Structure 1
């Protein structure tokens, strides 16, 4: 799902790819830690909509929170976000078949929009992301605290 044009997209269009690229280590860390604890699921990323700059660049700090949602809670969460039932039903086969050693299912939530992204065959695996974040914990700790 591609969100409608908004201030988040600025003048250059789709900001999500750059955001994911800049935050892949913590997204992968969250995905792997969640998988190890709960099994299959999705990573939820809530991006702070109070940020007012018109573009997102590699130098912008965009506040966000991450959480892992286990498979058995996904339907409830997505329905609570008023997602279309056909979109919700299409997510479950992806959750059942993704390779947690190589892939991440990511839900980017920027009020009022939600985008579901399948990060497939990543060059840096979720377990590698987890290892990197653990080795460099002091760099990542502030962004991983609730």
Structure 2
């Protein structure tokens, strides 16, 4: 991601949807397609480092629509522990975020059943807090582990 200052949208709870301009239209379909990975990253990060933020860097194709059901979209997932979030945001040039609001979300989200994610790809990075999830981060992690063992023969 380029290191330029960007304006942040307020933290948005999902569902029902994402508030924001056209630059955030990709967030909901991305999360729909990659929810298990994002949830598993949240669970793994929570257990390794405590409360924190899932970071989703997505490489969107320019100038054309994405066919989410069939087109792979390159992306990277990371987990920033709560104590490192401010320094990481500054390092990426994303220091315009309301740190108080973000830190409040990172302290108050229900770590076992919710997650907070920073979505990076467009001119409008978005912070979302996923609540009332049908599948918990712990279950996402279990599903991902089962799927890996199916394809890799692990645990047979």
Same fold (TM over 0.5): yes
Gaps of 5+ in 1: 142-146
Aligned residue pairs total: 134
Query: Which residue is 1:144 aligned to?
Result: none
Larger proportion of helix: 1
> Contact 1:18–1:58 (CA<8 Å) still a contact in 2?
no
Unmatched runs of 5 consecutive residues or more in structure 2: 1-8, 10-18
What's the counterpart of residue 133 of structure 2?
122
Larger RCO of the pair (alpha carbons < 8 Å, separation 6+): 2
- Cα RMSD of the aligned pairs, angstroms, is 2.3
Residues 1-146 of structure 1: pairs in structure 2 closer than 5 A: 1=9, 4-5=21-22, 14-49=25-60, 51-52=61-62, 54-56=64-66, 57-83=68-94, 85=96, 87-110=98-121, 112-137=123-148
TM-score, normalization by structure 2: 0.76
Deviations 1:20-48 (Å, cap 9, x if unpaired)?
01100000000000001111000001111
Counterparts of 1:138 and 1:109, CA distance in 2: 30
